[in-house]
Chains A and B, each alone.
Chain A
Amino acid sequence: MSETAAGLLFVASLIVALAVVHRPFGDYMHRVYTSPRHNAAERGLYRLLGVRPDAEQSWGVYARALLAFSLVSVLFVYGVQRLQDKLPLSLGMGPVTDHVAWNTAISFVTNTNWQAYSGESTMGHLTQMAALAVQNFVSAAVGMAVAIALVRGFARHKAGTIGNFWVDLVRGTIRILLPIAFVGALVLVAGGVIQNLSGPHEITTLTGGAQAITGGPVASQEVIKELGTNGGGFYNANSAHPFENATSWTNWFEIFLLLVIPFALTRTFGRMVGQVRQGYAILAVMGVIALGSVLLTNAFELSGGGTVPQAVGAAMEGKEVRFGVSGSATFAAATTLTSTGAVNSFHDSFTPFGGMMTLFDMMLGEVAPGGVGSGLYGMLVLAVITVFVAGLMVGRTPEYLGKKIGPREIKLASLYFLVTPVLVLAGTAAAMGSERQRASMLNSGPHGLSEVLYAFTSASGNNGSAFAGLTVNTPWYDVALGLCMVLGRFLPIVLVLALAGSLAVRSPVPEGAGTLPTHRPQFVGLVVGVTVVLVALTFLPALALGPIAEGLS
């Protein structure tokens, strides 16, 4: 079988697997977030936290609880890194430098998992387990909570509240992420991913050399890194490392994990608003964009454009033999379409247009299917913008899911959309305007600009992958990218929660002759169009100076 045929079957088998679990898993998550009952373990947790689980919160209270939790998390993760040499299992690693520790704390709390450090030479086992991996769980649960809160805004009528943050956080963690992570970790170990608490130990190679074989609780972190669309690798090489991704089938499994929640949440959404077909429409938008991107990335990588891939005969630089070109390209598309940012191959060495696809995926706002939770809320905001645009065309007041979309909602949605482009373009401009920041580029010419553009896109979109040639563990980049991560995460979240609050109080309007049906292929096509056109208008000039210039030269 040719590599192209095998690659297509690989993608097809992923689609089948995602389709099989879509309904049962989406329905399960629906029960998790709507059930009025708390189980015994949860009641115990609420007592420890001192919260009343049945107390509903307005959007403002919800947002303040979320921000307080994130702030304390940042301080905790920062503290553990700075004090790791005084804690157990440090493996002799010293305290993490202040600017790297700040960047890393922000990075994991915002579900970005940008890594300005190299795991195997910076973080002890306790830091990895008790600081970084914990955020892999809870930052994912926070993203899901925000999405569910927005869906409640559509589903509720004349309501002043959108749920309880602590309940959503605990339930998402305990009932969804933790059980899958535990089973998934064991599956990964069965494939060869390591799970132990040893430090590096010296062995003698076959020809008499020395090599330090590293240890660590890798599988338990790897599984949640994909499932929670986080992406922060235990090792610098991330999912290219054989101890993180040992075989071709663990590679399949990891891609499945990073797509499963974002796609299944559309079912949860459909169930919660009482119209399953609305969920399918959103799923169709995500699916069309995702499939297009996966196929294009594969096509560009397999055709091996660019001088070096032509000289080599295949785009194999930075790719592992067991995954092959196609298994690497599919992973790259999946990790940038979601907000994961894990990599099993190094995007910096991709063909010019293959590398551009990974950038473009992130610029789409990571909505197809996007990060856990953040993908759904991003896509719903785009749907709101789409009904507004469609309303302008025919001169009707826009409605979505029975709710009138008024000026306040449109302002919130527009501000949401503007946050990321402003951060990306301003950040890139600031870096390119300074001699010293330009010196961080590894590659020269248009590819150097791509490295910087990629870094700011990745940080602002909370992705975390990199054109990793760029030297980013400098104080300037750590601070600038840290700010992009904070603003790129929490400004949109506050805007979405405000949108949820303002929708929840509205009473439903009956469907009329002028109502745009939002479950038909026509609407799906419109949302896809709006998404792609908005991104193209925003980022095409920047892309033209980077990957497009490189690919056409």
Chain B
Amino acid sequence: MEHLPSWIRRHLTALRAVAVLTVLLGLVYPLLTTGVAQALFSDKANGSMTGHGSALVGQSFTGKDGAPVRKYFQSRPSAGDHDPTATGASNLGPEDVIDTPARKSLLTQVCARSLAVGELEGVSGARPYCTPDGIGAVLKVFPGRAVSVNQACPAVPFVTSYEGLEVECARPGEDHAAGRTVPVRGNVTAVQVPADAVTAGGSGLDPHISVTYADLQAPRVARERGLALGRVRALIGEHTTGRALGFIGEPAVDVLELNLALDRG
């Protein structure tokens, strides 16, 4: 090897280094870790499985028709239909407020979810920046006219006038890009559907809901199952993970474990 030019020797050394380190770091290390992990924590190393899926992987509790099964606590919305082979988030930004023919804006998705959850739980689904029919309340303002851009004609706009201008419904096919975007807050003060119920999580598999959202669902689940509300609330408490050490993270209710506990009676 000594008689080879130095640049060839250098690359041969690099080749050996990659090969040797791949065996050590790419095979020995992960396989040894797997062996020890399986020996010490086999339940967790294999995904914390229950009889109906993983306690760590969120699933939807809807029927074949896509409607919520009323005797079960419902999960958060998912950007990927709770599919573990296609995880991820919506990636829609904080000012994504205008619907297009291709997709609903994030604002309209939030408004629609809020309305649906409100209906299911028998409370008001109203939110700021949402129309009463669960659509993003957004105007496009032009000189001399204003358009409720997410409400296609013949819908009745959520407000009749804006700064003296009459508000029109959006004529399909018309380009509103040039107008000034004005989201309208409205006068909703008490929001009854919590934040996690109307937003998709980061993974598309969030196994948890907030304690507030669980409490909102408790009366419905108790009614459907003929259980005392206190019993359902106690089960929520049992399946809530508090903040670690009292300050790390947020309290969270594992939905699958809670529903399994309910089924056990």
Contact = CB atoms under 8 A, between A and B. Distances in A.
B partners with A: yes
Interface of A: 1, 3, 5-6, 9-10, 13, 45, 48-51, 64-65, 68-69, 71-73, 76, 118, 120-121, 129-131, 133-134, 137-138, 166, 169, 173, 178, 181-182, 185-186, 189-198, 200, 203-209, 211-215, 217, 219-221, 235-237, 240-243, 246-249, 251-252, 305-324, 327-328, 343-346, 348-352, 355, 442-447, 450, 467-469, 550, 553
Contacts of B64: 208
A168 to B, nearest CB: 12
Contacts of A469: 91-93
A4 to B, nearest CB: 11
B232 to A, nearest CB: 16
B168 interface: no
A249 B249 CA distance: 7
A447 B49 contact: no
Contacts of A237: 87-89, 202-205
21 contacts: A131-B22, A195-B34, A203-B54, A207-B72, A211-B59, A219-B45, A221-B30, A240-B201, A242-B207, A243-B47, A247-B244, A248-B252, A249-B248, A252-B244, A307-B183, A311-B127, A314-B195, A318-B200, A320-B206, A322-B206, A447-B94
B95 A217 contact: no
B234 interface: no
Interface string B174-207: 0000000101010000010011101111111111
A68 B13 contact: yes
Contacts of A248: 241, 243-244, 248-250, 252
B208 A442 contact: no
A178 to B, nearest CB: 7
A197 B202 CA distance: 25
Nearest to A443: B93
B21 A134 contact: yes
- Closest A-B pairs by Cβ, 5 of them: A248-B249, A306-B94, A240-B202, A324-B250, A130-B26
B228 interface: no
Interface stretch (B78-86, B139-147, B150-158): B78-86
Contacts of B37: 185-186, 189, 195-196, 219
Interface residues of B, number: 108
Nearest to A41: B24
B107 interface: yes
Interface of B: 1, 7, 10-18, 20-22, 25-27, 29-30, 32-34, 36-38, 40-41, 44-49, 52-54, 56-64, 69, 72, 76, 82-98, 106-107, 110-111, 127-130, 136, 181, 183, 185, 191, 194-196, 198-210, 241, 243-250, 252, 256, 259-260, 263
A72 B85 contact: no
A308 B90 contact: no
B34 A220 contact: yes
A241 B203 contact: yes
Contact of A72 (B18, B97, B98): B18
A200 B85 CA distance: 8
A311 B111 contact: yes
Given A252-B244, A320-B203, A130 B22 contact: yes
A323 B95 contact: no
Contacts of A220: 29-30, 33-34
A5 B246 CA distance: 11
A172 to B, nearest CB: 11
Contacts of A49: 13, 16-17, 20
Contacts of B12: 50
Contacts of A133: 25-26, 30
A445 to B, nearest CB: 7
A144 to B, nearest CB: 15
Contacts of A197: 34
B128 A311 contact: yes
B206 to A, nearest CB: 5
A6 B52 contact: no
